[in-house]
Each structure stands twice: as structure tokens, then as C-alpha cells.
Structure 1
Amino acid sequence: MDLTFPAAVQNYEALSSLMGLMREAAASGQWDQLVALEKKCQERVQIMRQADARSSLEESERARKKALILKILADDASIRQNTQPWMEKLQWALRNTRQERKVRQAYTPSR
């Protein structure tokens, strides 16, 4: 039995690896690394769209692809769980900055 998967499945393997790295970066608060990895994921997804349209898979290949998709979704959920508090803090800081600017503009005399 040949355990070498076609390019379509290998693309999912690569995306799964990238998502794992993104999950680790999010868990450790490495936001710049997370953004860089997200760009690589987007590039990989573009490649995958083209490859998926041209490929037909055997049953074992479809099963592997399904397992990879489930892992990718689990990693995505973990990434969101780790980034949500950071995003809320960022949104709070931006709102406060806007409000502070509006108050300053309202109470600063015109020259």
C-alpha cells in the first residue's frame, strides 16, 4: 500500500502544519508571528483552491483530507480562543482613544 498522498492532500498537510504553528503563536502571544503565519496560510489556501478543483481522491485520501480539515478547524477554534481577549483589549483601547480625542476636541478652545 502506497502511503504517499497526492498534492491535494499534501496541501492540507502543509496547511495543518501552518495552523499548528499559528495556534502555538496565539497561545504564547506572539502576534507578529501569528500575522506572518496567517499570510502564509492565505497563500496556501489559494494554491489549494486550484489543486482541489483538479483532483479526485481515493477513499483513504478523502479520509486523510477529512482528518486534516477537522484538525485545521480545531486549531482555528483554539487560535480564536487565544486571540479573542487580545482583540477585546485592543478594541477597548481604540474606543477609549477615540473618546478621549472627542472630549479633548470638545473642550479645547478654538484658536
Structure 2
Amino acid sequence: MNSEQVITIYETMCDITGNMLDAAQKRDWEKLVELESRCASHVATLKARESVVALSGPSRARKVEIINKILSHDRQIRDLTTPWMAELAALINSSGTSRKLSAAYGA
């Protein structure tokens, strides 16, 4: 893997995380999960192969710029998904309580 390939993978990941943010904004959780899986495969590729590529100068600066954008996407996604996860947990707990009451006192 050369430096151009490394940068291309980071750019692809940035595009994917941008699409993940869009999915989170639309509350399209299935699409978000699908995109997260695609992003994870690129991360695995980088983990396996990037260490042999030394970036310098403009390539290193571009990588830092892309990573900062990916981190920004990630923060925004978490800001959108955290309340949803709390809602989901409340629904699960509520339905669990309903089942317990039903089991204890009948339908």
C-alpha cells in the first residue's frame, strides 16, 4: 500500500462517516448500521497495511485534516444517537416491566 492508497481510504472513510451522519440525522438506523460496517472494513484494512507506509509533508497534513473531519462526524453522530439509545432503553425497560406485571397479576 502506498501513500496515495492510504489517503484514498481515509477519504472514503470520511465520505462514509458523512453519510452516517446524514443517516443519523434522518433517524435511518438501519442505514447507519450498514454504513458503520463498511467503515469498519476500511479501518481493518488500514490497521493491517498502513503501518508499512510512512506519510510525510502534504500527505501527513491531509491525513490529519481527514481524521479531524471523521472525528467531527463521529461527535455529531453520537450527539444524535445517544438520545435515541436512551429512548430505546426506556422502551425496553417499560415493556419488561409490563411483562413482569402481566406475569404477576395476569392479563
- TM above 0.5, yes or no, is yes
Runs of 4+ with deviation above 6 angstroms: none
Q: Conserved in 2, the CA contact under 8 Å of 1:25 and 1:34?
A: yes
TM-score, normalised to structure 2, is 0.91
Which of the two has greater helix per residue? 2
Deviation at 1:25, TM superposition (A): 0.6
Determine if the alignment matches structure 1 residue 69 to structure 2 residue 87: no
Q: Which residue matches 2:53?
A: 55
The one-letter code sitting in structure 2 at the alignment partner of 1:59 is: G
Written as runs of structure 1 = structure 2, the 5 A alignment for 1:65-104 is: 65-104=63-102
Deviation at 1:85, TM superposition (A): 1.6
> Which ranges in structure 1 are unaligned for 5 or more consecutive residues?
none
Q: Take 1:72 and 1:28, find their aligned partners in 2: how far apart are those partners?
A: 19
How many corresponding residue pairs?
105
Q: Conserved in 2, the CA contact under 8 Å of 1:7 and 1:51?
A: no
Q: Take 1:8 and 1:49, find their aligned partners in 2: how far apart are those partners?
A: 11
Deviation at 1:14, TM superposition (A): 0.7
Pairwise CA RMSD: 1.4
Q: Take 1:105 and 1:55, find their aligned partners in 2: how far apart are those partners?
A: 61
Q: Percent identity?
A: 33
Q: Which residue matches 1:28?
A: 26
Q: Take 2:67 and 2:49, find their aligned partners in 1: how far apart are those partners?
A: 15
Between structure 1 and structure 2, the one with the greater Rg is 1
Q: Take 1:105 and 1:50, find their aligned partners in 2: how far apart are those partners?
A: 51
> Which ranges in structure 2 are unaligned for 5 or more consecutive residues?
none
Deviation at 1:52, TM superposition (A): 1.4
The one-letter code sitting in structure 2 at the alignment partner of 1:50 is: A
